[in-house]
């Protein structure tokens, strides 16, 4: 059996290029990070947060056909988005978000990538695999005819196979591009006040309405999807049109959205400045 191909490196669930959009412009590279469970703030930077060791490690075994390495690694799936997003964000900020619609397909594909990279998405996929019977191909013994049989995958390797399958699901989501996000009407709201910023969290794609997860909102006409682009702007998806498509945030609306991120079901939220989490 081959040795495990474990890189065991630090893998960023939230791309550093995404988190850079939430850093303090007066203190370049500095993020204010809110520990949602402990209800406290601390300062850090994009390289040190939104990451987990070995999160995208792929387990590789010689004798398991189900574990053959995919034709594209997680790194390759992410590369185009990670390289292009910071430039797209800077262009939109420089233009005062005028003409952001020309980037919509890319932005929605990026949002799907962010959603697929989260711990929440992985846990949902792993849960769906529970009870699934896994088989490995059993080749003929020496001197036997070339007949093949299947046998159950040993219990000690099932969790690793499940992780491989979850990574494959991540790749599939990214390959689908905007996918069902394209069924929504999108508008952009921005803030020009550093003391009243848009914030994000470990699960950056948040939905509002009578739904349990992002994909469920497709069938609920009152559902909204929030995708923070940077501390200045947030994309909002709705089933109904909203005019104008680009406008400054109503401060009460922004405060409500910000509160959702500072109380989300994840570990950390990110802002350019420390904020009152109750406001």
- Three-state SS string across the chain, please? CCCCCCCCCEEECCCHHHHHHHCCCCCCCCEEEEECCCCEEEEECHHHCCEEECCCCCCCCCCCHHHCCCCCCHHHHHHHHHHHHHHHHHHHHHCCCCCHHHHHHHHHHHHHHHHHHCHHHHHHHHHHHCCCCCEEEECCCCCCCCCCEEEECCHHHHHHHHHHHHHHHHHHHHHCCCHHHHHCEEEEEECCCCCCCCCEECCCCEEECCCCCCHHHHHCCCCEEEEEEECCEEEEEECCCCCCCEEECCHHHHHHHHHHHHCCCCCEEEECCCCCCCC
Question: Is 3 part of any domain?
Answer: no
Indicate yes or no: pTM above 0.75.
yes
pLDDT given for residue 74 in this prediction = 56
- What's the total number of domains in the chain? 1
Domain-located, residue 279: no
Residue 126: predicted pLDDT:
54
243 contact partners, CB below 8 Å, separation of at least 6: none
Domain that holds residue 103: 10-271
The pLDDT assigned to 108 comes to 94
Q: How far apart are CA 63 and CA 78, in angstroms?
A: 28
Decide if 151 is inside a domain.
Answer: yes
pLDDT given at position 222: 75
In a domain, 89, yes or no: yes
Q: Is residue 277 part of a domain?
A: no
pLDDT at 80: 83
CA 240 vs. chain centroid, Å, equals 25
Where on the phi/psi map is residue 274: left (φ > 0), alpha (ψ -120 to 50), or beta?
A: beta
Angle at 199 between CA 52 and CA 97, to 5 degrees: 115
Residue stretches of the chain with pLDDT short of 50: 1-6, 61-68, 70-71
């Amino acid at each position: 059996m081959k040795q495990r191909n474990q890189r065991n490196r630090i893998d960023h669930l939230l791309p550093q290029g995404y988190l850079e959009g939430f850093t303090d412009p007066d203190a370049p590279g500095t993020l204010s990070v809110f520990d949602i469970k402990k209800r406290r703030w601390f300062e850090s930077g994009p390289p040190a947060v939104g990451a987990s060791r070995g999160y995208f490690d792929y387990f590789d075994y010689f004798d398991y056909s189900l574990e053959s390495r995919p034709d594209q690694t997680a790194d390759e799936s992410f590369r185009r988005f990670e390289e292009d997003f910071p430039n797209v964000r800077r262009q939109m900020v420089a233009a005062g978000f005028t003409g952001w619609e020309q980037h919509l397909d890319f932005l929605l594909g990026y949002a799907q990538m962010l959603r697929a990279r989260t711990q929440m998405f992985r846990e949902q996929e792993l849960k769906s695999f529970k009870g699934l019977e896994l088989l490995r191909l059993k080749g003929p013994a020496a001197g036997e005819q070339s007949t093949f049989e299947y046998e159950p995958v040993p219990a000690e390797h099932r969790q690793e196979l499940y992780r491989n399958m979850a990574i494959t699901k991540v790749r599939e989501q990214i390959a689908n591009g905007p996918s069902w996000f394209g069924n929504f009407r999108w508008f952009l709201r921005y803030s020009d006040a550093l003391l009243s910023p848009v914030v994000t969290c470990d699960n950056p794609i948040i939905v509002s309405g009578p739904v349990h997860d992002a994909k469920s909102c497709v069938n609920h006409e009152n559902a909204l999807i929030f995708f923070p682009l940077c501390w200045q702007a947030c994309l909002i998806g709705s089933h109904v049109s909203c005019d104008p498509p680009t406008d400054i945030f109503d401060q009460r609306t922004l405060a409500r959205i910000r509160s959702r991120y500072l109380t989300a079901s994840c570990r950390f939220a990110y802002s350019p400045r420390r904020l009152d989490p109750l406001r």
